[in-house]
Amino acid sequence: MRISHALFIGPKPAKVNPVMAENKNNPSNKGEKPKANDARNNDGSDRIAKVMARAGVASRRDCEKLIDEGRVKVNGIVLTTPAFKVTRKDEILFDDKPLAAKEPPRVWRYHKPSGLVTSHKDEKGRRSVFDNMPKDMPRVISVGRLDITSEGLLLMTNDGEVARALELPKTGFLRRYRARAFGHVTQDRLDSLKKGIDIDGVPSGPIEATLDKQQGSNAWITVTIREGKNREVRRALDTLGLEVNRLIRTSYGPFQLGKLPPGQVEEVPNDALIEQIGHLVKIPYVKPGMHSGKSAGANVSDAPVRKARAPKRGTFASAKRFQNKDEASAPNEKPKGKPKRAGGKTEFKTGGRPVAGKGKRSAPKAPPKGRGKFAKR
């Protein structure tokens, strides 16, 4: 039998990136896909676009476009693909300038008004919440989203790791809303939401709803959820025949909306941030007043925040505290020493400093002459 050999012509081999070829011994560049739940690989490497976004260059997608344009260099070699990972030892240049130092994680509370979308770019050209940020704020991203008609607390952060940690359902942070819905409902019907609902074929977590008051044809309801799926509150109340016409987020985990006016933004203090989410993300301690825009990364200290403890009895701090307490109560006590009259008022010398006494007091009378200590009276 005659066997014919066929020649199979495959696709041309892909071009090898010189930077990838130079770093072929790097285990993070062997094409292995990192796990989705790992913010950073075991070797400490990160995607180049992610590192640039953290430095405040642009968003990840925009950074990938900058890399395709050949404006990014790694260790002196022009990078031609965003599918590349770098470590802290690599030198990264953008437009022949080194990247700025990574700023410590920061979080802001923002009272989102109705009518703004939670997106950096909108296809319909609608105004975004990021267009309403102060000019001196660094580049931030939102923690989760709020619908265009929703309002209330929206957290902003300059760190993607913080945003991801706050958004994960396993964190267990409660999202609390106040909803005004058209229709009538009872508390018994609202309790049926504790079993959860199906959203696009995916079951949600338990939903706690409390009827606050029935105001005419509208009902005010407090809704608490943990996951925050797409339009979860509106869909949950819609299953009960209620149409939400106003939705206000009042809290997100430990962060409260409070009395923050609509459209205003306020930064969460660094010590409060460490106390509330320091167990989720490593947040370095920053001295008050050290933040100055994007250059605040140079004033960071990795020292942990230490809570002030009450001084123990017998310690120097305790003695000093009681000493201050005695000094504060000294004017109310009867001073000791010889009195001295000056300007119609009686003064007493205590420790070389005159202290004004209460009322007018006369000097003690001298004993009569001729009568000693043991004289008969």
Answer for the pair 72, 47: CB distance below 8 angstroms, yes or no: no
Task: From residue 371, give the alpha-carbon distance in Å to each of 11, 365, 366.
Answer: 131, 14, 11
User: Token digits for 249?
Assistant: 């987020």
* Nearest by Cα to 21 from 75, 100, 62, 67: 75
Rounded Cα distance between 363 and 361, Å, is 7
Question: What is the secondary structure of 106-120 as a DSSP string?
Answer: -EEEEEEPTT-BSSS
Classify 44 in phi/psi space as left (phi over 0), alpha (psi -120 to 50) or beta: left
Residue 147 is a catalytic residue: yes
Answer for the pair 249, 146: CB distance below 8 angstroms, yes or no: yes
Q: What is the DSSP letter of 285?
A: B
Q: How many residues does the chain have?
A: 377
Residue among 147, 159, 188, 191 flagged as catalytic: 147
Residue found by looking up tokens 């020493």 in the block: 337
- Other residues' Cβ atoms within 10 Å of the Cβ of residue 168: 13
Q: Is the dihedral of CA 300, 301, 307, 312 positive or negative?
A: negative
- CA 80 to chain centroid: 35
Residue found by looking up tokens 């072929």 in the block: 24
- CA 233 to chain centroid: 24
Task: From residue 68, give the alpha-carbon distance in Å to each of 47, 72, 80, 81.
Answer: 14, 9, 6, 6
Question: What is the secondary structure of 125-179 as a DSSP string?
Answer: ---BGGGGS-TTS---EESS---TT-EEEEEEES-HHHHHHHH-GGG---EEEEE
Rounded Cα distance between 34 and 361, Å, is 87
Which sequence positions are flagged as catalytic? 147
